[in-house]
Amino acid sequence: MVSLSLGPKKGTLFIVSTPIGNLEDITLRALRILKEVTLIAAEDTRNTGLLLKHFAIQTPLTSYFEGNELKKKEFILSRMKQGDSIALVSDAGTPGISDPGYRLIQLAIENEIPIVPIPGPSAVVTALSVAGLPTDGFLFKGFLPHKSKRRRDLLGELEEVRETLVFYESPHRLSEALNDIFEILGDRPMVLTRELTKAYEEIIRGKVSGIKRQIGERRLKGEITLLISGKTRKKRDREIGGSGDREIDR
């Protein structure tokens, strides 16, 4: 009897969410997948290495980050074509959100590699959940541009958006970013979250001007998310009508 070899079965790409700070936020399913896969593709092998060590997981790591992703994604694809299952993890949170993970996911789709999401923590959703701003619609734009001109141009493009605006920002650019937000978007309700789920977690709520005052000369550290109220219809009606007669909230 002649048997025909169909070649190796394709592996699977697991998109594994990891804690954004508190290691207790890891899911049981994520732990199992990280133990069972052949290889873990990590945005930061040092951070992920600490996570694996904490949970006594010995799965090999390979780096996959902005800068080496074009070369590395072909290596990862070849491993999956050979039948290896691989977990993609970001520095923290959910892969593919404001990181190069989406490129590997695109490649897997093009090559008909099975893709399985392992849901869990996300910095964007975590910040939205405690902000107290409308969440039936929101617009996430990743990190604000580094340069003031580009940052102001982007904010200008978003001035008429009614949905809650969400950005990541670096601590050393925060003061300049708040100045630009105030000048372009006005004194809107805003929430600043910092180091969510970590020991020095901080949530500051208020108007843009009030948050600017609270921050003052403080030298903040850690992961910062900015959430800004969208443009209200009341303000739009006032601008269009030119008088207080049309100050209508809907």
pTM to 2 decimal places: 0.86
Domains of the chain: 13-118 (3.40.1010.10), 123-235 (3.30.950.10)
Q: How much is the pLDDT for 245?
A: 38
Token pair 């290896």 is at which residue? 84
Per DSSP (E only), the strands in the chain are 13-16, 39-42, 61-63, 86-89, 115-118, 138-143, 164-169, 189-194, 202-207, 224-228
What does DSSP assign to residue 150?
H
**Is the predicted pLDDT of residue 162 greater than 50, yes or no?**
yes
pLDDT band at 9 (very low <50, low <70, confident <90, very high): low
- Cβ atoms within 10 Å of 145's Cβ, excluding its own: 18
Identify the pLDDT of residue 246: 32
Structure confidence at residue 96 as a pLDDT band (50, 70, 90): very high
pLDDT of 126 strictly over 80:
yes
- Residues 6 or more apart in contact with residue 43 via CB below 8 angstroms: 63, 64, 65, 89, 90, 91, 95, 99, 100, 101
The letter for the amino acid at 15 is I
pLDDT at residue number 235: 52
- Structure confidence at residue 8 as a pLDDT band (50, 70, 90): low
Summarize pLDDT for 39-54 with one digit per residue, the tens.
Answer: 999 999 999 999 999 9
- Please, what is the average pLDDT of the chain? 91
Mean pLDDT for 91-97 is 94
Higher pLDDT, 218 or 242: 218
